[in-house]
Structure formats: structure tokens, C-alpha cells
Amino acid sequence: GVSIKTDENYVAGNTAFDGLTVITGAAAGAKFQIGANENQDLALSIGNMTATGLGVNAVDISSQTGGAAAITTVNNALESVSAQRSALGAVQNRLEHTIKNLDTSSENLQASESRIRDVDMAKEMMEFTKNNILTQAAQAMLAQANQAPQGVLQLLR
């Protein structure tokens, strides 16, 4: 009989990006923290999308019966792949939404920090000016206090 067998199993288990395996067949999944609180996470798992996992690794099309069974097997595999792509698309949309929210939160936090720094700077400038005025007033009072004994000494001469 004729059977169809490809290297999808090899490719699926050996595809990597930045040192992380992209597809491992039947994966345990991953959990992503997407919020500040404890239960704000997103679980992601990818089903076994290899030829073996989809059941298309050894379809037999040598007979009419085998061909009909192969069509059913391929249709089921297509439905599984479509469902997995749909689930991954939903996860992608959720992650994009989370990224936008985090960008907005970061921008708001930076704006708040800037306002606080501006207020602190104005307050510190006011304190600095006040202290300068007090220092100058103290120096003027000392100068006048030093002048009084000088006047008394001149009267005694």
C-alpha cells in the first residue's frame, strides 16, 4: 500500500526561537503572569500538532476505502489545526490587549512621577529661597549688632 509520511515530527520537535523550543508535540503548556495580582495569569497549551498527533502520518490511499478514510482523517486534522489556531489567536489577542493596558499604565505612572517630582522641586526651591532670606536677615542683624558696640567705643574716646 501507499502511505504518506513526512518529517513534520522532526520539524515540530526541533523548531526553536531564541533557544526556546517552539513546538514540542504534546506540550504541558505555559502560564504567563499578565497582571499585578495573584490570579491574573494566562495559561497556554498547544496540542500535539505533529503528523502523528493529528493521525495523518500513515494514511493509506491505495484503495477507495483507504482514500475515503484518508479524507475523513485529513478533515479531522484540519478541524483540529483550525481549532488550535483559533485558540492561539484568542491568546494572541488577549496578550496584545494586556500589552496595550500595560503601556497605558506605564505612561500614567511616568506622568504621575513627573508631577510629583515637579511639585517636590517647587517646594524645595521655596524652602531654599526662604532659607536664603533668613540667612541674609541674620547677617544684617549681626552687622547692626556689631555696629552698636563700635558706636559706644567712639563716644568713650
Q: What percent of the chain has pLDDT over 70?
A: 82
Q: Is a pLDDT exceeding 60 seen at residue 24?
A: no
CB 76 within 8 A of CB 55: yes
The pLDDT of residue 22? 52
- In this structure, what are the phi and psi dihedrals at residue 107, rounded to the nearest 5 degrees? -65, -45
The pLDDT of 27-40, averaged and rounded, is 83
Count CB neighbours of 57 within 10 A.
Answer: 16
The DSSP H or E segment spanning 41 is strand 41-44
Of the listed ranges 17-31, 37-51, 67-81, 98-112, the one predicted with least confidence: 17-31
**pLDDT for the residue 138:** 92
pLDDT in tens, 41-82: 888 889 999 999 999 999 999 999 999 999 999 999 999 999
pLDDT of residue 106: 94
Q: For the residues 82-108, what does the mean pLDDT come to?
A: 94
106-110, 115-119, 140-144: least confident range: 115-119
What CATH number belongs to 2-107? 1.20.1330.10
Contact 47, 95 (CB under 8 A): no
Mean pLDDT of the chain: 83
Q: Is the pLDDT of residue 6 over 50?
A: no
Domain residues of the chain, as ranges? 2-107
